[in-house]
Amino acid sequence: GLSRVVFSGIQPTGVPHLGNYAGALRQWVNLQRDEPSTTKLFYSIVDLHAITIPQPPDQLRRWRREALASLLAIGIDPERCVLFHQSSVPAHSELMWILSCTASVGYLSRMTQWKSKLNLSASSTLEDKGVGGQLKLGLFSYPVLQAADILIHRATHVPVGHDQQQHLEFARECATNFNHAYGKHLVHPQTLIPPVHRVMSLTDPASKMSKSHKAERSRILITDSPKEIKSKISSALTDSIPGISYDSTTRPGISNLLDILSIFDSQSRSSSELAKEYSDLSPRQLKEMVSDAIISGLDGIRDRYFELLGSDNSYIDKVEADGARKARESAAETMSIVREAMGM
């Protein structure tokens, strides 16, 4: 029977970048190779999370479709997994409310994401002057919705980056609190850590590659053309130390390029192994290898993406509708257990 139920989500906030791909999405694709009779996969475009920061409606509408097209383009197979928009399944929000009735405000207030989204320091508290007015309830309670996303599908495994581990810990806390009050009905999820380095910004390799970084040259999008990839990599910030070596503290730019090379290396060599192998190359030669590796690693994604968005919408519409139906069925099973346990 089923031994693993995997849940993972991505916000519809533009075309994914290389960091999203290497750190999360590639693993989503690889998990599809697991035996379907033992591993069930839920992949969600979490639009309700995206609105914790105000979104112009036209942009959200476009980004939702672009996110779906991106996932299909990288090889997410809607026959193999349940691929859906979070807001198509109202039970995510319903379970969130229920979990919020046993969740601790103290615990949420110590979490760091709401602080970083408001550009506050990690030591800021709810009591600090001005925070209460700026901080919207949805941004503060976001981790409760994330817990509901996971628990509603009875996920046993959640692939998350290092930055999300705190949230998974909180999801386990939500399950514990609910189970303590109403009986052991919710499943405790485990973390699946992706086996890769964080991809760093190309223009500022001390910080991670992110869609919130202002400079577009700082990131490679999975739909970039070979020309754009070459141009961004060739202008990536490196250093003037001769030769190639791996040390992410003293040589963050070069090390990031080696990490990217390692991500796409057909022989699965580590970044340090690659550094030894190519120790005599110049930065320019290394960059050429890195561009070629990215271009062949992402080959086909761009064409499939534009084909999906360019043609009529019927295929994407069908994927959306099928995914919503399957996800609603899964969520309804948990909700009937939850409601029964609570006397509703």
Interface characters, 93-122, with ligand ADP (x: CB under 6 A): ------------------------------
245 binds ligand ADP (CB under 6 A): no
Closest CA to 212 of 116, 136, 291: 116
Which member of 163, 317, 329, 340 binds ligand ADP (CB under 6 A)? Answer: 163
The length of the chain is 344
Q: In the annotation, is 318 catalytic? A: no
19 binds ligand ADP (CB under 6 A): yes
Amino acid letter for position 108? L
Strands ordered across the beta sheet of 39-45: 82-85, 39-45, 4-10, 157-159, 190-192
11 binds ligand ADP (CB under 6 A): yes
Rounded Cα–Cα distance for residues 61 and 13 (Å): 10
In the complex with ligand ADP, the residue whose CB is nearer, 177 or 218, is 218
198 binds ligand ADP (CB under 6 A): yes
Residue carrying structure tokens 């992949």: 43
Q: In the annotation, is 136 catalytic? A: no
Q: In the annotation, is 227 catalytic? A: no
Instruction: Give the chain's count of helices (H) and strands (E).
Output: 16, 5
253 binds ligand ADP (CB under 6 A): no
Which member of 5, 24, 175, 327 binds ligand ADP (CB under 6 A)? Answer: 24
Residue carrying structure tokens 């009905």: 185
In the complex with ligand ADP, the residue whose CB is nearer, 24 or 152, is 24
- Tally of CB atoms within 10 A around 41: 23
297 binds ligand ADP (CB under 6 A): no
CA 102 to chain centre: 27
Give yes or no for a contact between 5 and 153, defined as CB atoms under 8 angstroms apart: yes
161 binds ligand ADP (CB under 6 A): yes
Closest CA to 236 of 224, 220, 253, 223: 253
Catalytic residue among 40, 115, 208, 230: 208
In the complex with ligand ADP, the residue whose CB is nearer, 60 or 126, is 60
Positions marked active-site: 117, 208, 211
Interacting residue ranges for ligand ADP, rule: CB under 6 A: 10-11, 19-20, 22-24, 160-161, 163-164, 198-199, 208-212
